[in-house]
Amino acid sequence: MRIRFELMGAAIALLSFAACSSNNQDSKATSEKTVEVSETVEATAAEADLQVIDFYATWCGPCKQLAPIIEKMEKKYAGKIAFSRVDVDAEPQLAEQYNITAMPTLVFVKGGEVIDVAVGLMSEAELDTKLQDLTK
């Protein structure tokens, strides 16, 4: 049942991405900015056992819904889990590095390795459960 919901979430995210991409303004990041964000993501990963990277777009409705949930989790797990946000339009190279094809996408990194990926909007309870499972 959970896999079905995850697949539905992925399908909804892909549809949202396709529908919203026509509204997307062409924004090219400078290589300096990309390096800065990439270094921030890497530095953040070194600070915690688990890192959550939130790949989002400013024009993405589900991303906007997920943002306050991420903020709550960031406060709840302060000092235990590091959170980073990456705007895929501003950082296309980083999004490509993590094979991001839909938003929102959460990438969970532990010990420098991607251990899980969640595509689509998650409820606060779903994300909290996932974080608890991944920090065991």
CA distance 6 to 95: 20
Please state whether the peptide bond connecting residue 104 to the residue before it is cis, i.e. omega within 30 degrees of 0.
yes
At 16, the amino acid letter reads S
First and final C-alpha spacing in the chain: 23
Q: Which residues contact 91 (CB under 8 A, 6 or more apart)?
A: 29, 33, 34, 37, 38
Q: Catalytic amino acids?
A: 60, 63
